[in-house]
Amino acid sequence: MKSITSKKQPKNIIPAFGINLGITIAMLSALILIPLASILAYSLRLTPGDFFRTLSSEPVRFAFGTSILCSFIAAFINAVFGTIIAWVLVRYSFPGKRILDGLIELPFALPTAVAGITLSKMYSTTGFIGKIFDRYGIRISYTHIGLTIALIFIGIPFVVRAIEPVLEKYDPSYEEAACMLGAGKTETFFKVTLKELFPAILTGFGLAFARGIGEYGSVIFISGNSQKEHTQVISYMIMQKLNYLDYGQATAIALAMLIISFLLLLFINIVQIRQAKRKGA
Amino acid sequence: MFQKKANHLRRGTALILTLSLMFSLSGCGQSSSQKNTGNQVTITNVSYDPTRELYQAYNEAFTSYYKEKTGTDVEVVMSHGGSGGQARSVVEGADADVVTLALAHDITLVENAGLIESGWIDEFDKASSPYTSTIVFLVRKGNPKNIRNWDDLIKDGMDIITPDPKSSGGACWNFLAAWYYADEKFGGDEKQMKDFVAKLYDNVSVMDSGARGATTTFVENGQGDVLLAWENEALQSVKEHPDEYEIISPSISILAQPSVAIVDQNAEKDQVADVAKDYLEYLYTEDAQKIIGEYGYRPSDENILNSFSDKFDLDMKLCSIDDFGGWDKAYDTFFNDGAIFDEIYNQ
CATH number for B61: 3.40.190.10
Do B85 and B215 share a domain, yes or no?
no
Mean pLDDT of B243-271: 94
Q: Which residues in chain A are closer than 8 Å to B13, comparing Cβ atoms?
A: 19
pLDDT higher than threshold 80 for residue B146: yes
> Is B209 close to A142, i.e. CB distance below 8 A?
no
Q: How would residue B19 be classed by pLDDT, with cut points 50, 70 and 90?
A: very low
Q: Is B97 helix (H, G, I), strand (E, B) or coil?
A: coil
Identify which of A102, A127, A131, A103 has the alpha carbon closest to the alpha carbon of residue A117.
Answer: A127
- Surface-to-core class of residue B160, CB atoms within 10 Å of its CB (0-12 exposed, 13-18 middle, 19+ buried): buried
Q: pLDDT tens, B183-242?
A: 999 999 999 999 999 999 999 988 888 888 899 899 988 899 999 999 999 999 999 999
Q: Which residues in chain B are closer than 8 Å to A1, comparing Cβ atoms?
A: 3-4, 7
Do B66 and B171 share a domain, yes or no?
no
Nearest CB to A239: which of B2, B167, B208? Answer: B167
Do B216 and B340 share a domain, yes or no?
yes
The DSSP result for B19-47, as a single string, is HHHHHHHHHHHHHHHHHTSTTEEEEEEEE
Do B194 and B302 share a domain, yes or no?
no
> pLDDT value at position B168?
82
Q: What does pLDDT average to over chain B?
A: 88
Complex confidence, ipTM: 0.72
The DSSP result for A85-96, as a single string, is HHHHHHH---TT
| Nearest chain B Cα distance for residue A238, angstroms | 10
Q: pLDDT tens, B168-180?
A: 877 899 999 999 9
pLDDT higher than threshold 70 for residue A122: yes
Amino acid (1-letter code) at residue A117: I
Candidates A21, A118, A234, A243: best to mutate against B (most CBs of B within 10 A) is A243
Q: How would residue B38 be classed by pLDDT, with cut points 50, 70 and 90?
A: low
User: How many Cβ atoms sit within 10 Å of the Cβ of residue B241?
Assistant: 11
- Cβ contacts below 8 Å, chain A against chain B, sum to 92
Domain boundaries, chain A: 15-44, 47-280
Do B120 and B143 share a domain, yes or no?
no
Q: Comparing B21 with B260, which gets the higher pLDDT?
A: B260
H-assigned helices in B203-325: 211-215, 231-240, 264-269, 273-281, 286-294, 302-307
Domain A47-280 has CATH 1.10.3720.10: yes
* pTM of this prediction exceeds 0.95: no
Q: What share of chain A has pLDDT > 70, as a percent? A: 95
Q: Which residues of B touch A (CB under 8 A)?
A: 2-7, 9-10, 13-14, 84-85, 88, 91, 109, 164, 166-169, 205-209, 213, 216-217, 220-223, 331, 335-337, 345-346
Q: How would residue A227 be classed by pLDDT, with cut points 50, 70 and 90?
A: confident
Q: Which strand (E) or helix (H) includes residue A244?
A: none
Q: pLDDT tens, A102-117?
A: 999 888 888 998 999 9
Number of domains in chain B: 2
Q: Which residues in chain A are closer than 8 Å to B345, comparing Cβ atoms?
A: 227-228
Do B262 and B321 share a domain, yes or no?
no
Number of C-alpha atoms within 13 angstroms, CB side, residue B230? 31
Do B328 and B198 share a domain, yes or no?
yes
> pLDDT value at position A1?
45
| Residue B22, in any domain of the structure | no
> pLDDT value at position B96?
95
H-assigned helices in A110-246: 112-123, 130-135, 144-169, 173-180, 185-188, 194-214, 217-222, 234-243
Do B220 and B341 share a domain, yes or no?
yes
> Is A226 close to B168, i.e. CB distance below 8 A?
no
Mean pLDDT of B62-75: 93
> pLDDT value at position A239?
87
Do B192 and B322 share a domain, yes or no?
yes
Residue span of the structural domain in which B223 resides? 134-256+316-346
> pLDDT value at position A11?
66
Q: Which strand (E) or helix (H) includes residue B252?
A: strand B252-256
Q: pLDDT tens, A169-224?
A: 888 888 888 888 888 888 888 888 888 888 899 999 999 999 999 999 899 989 88
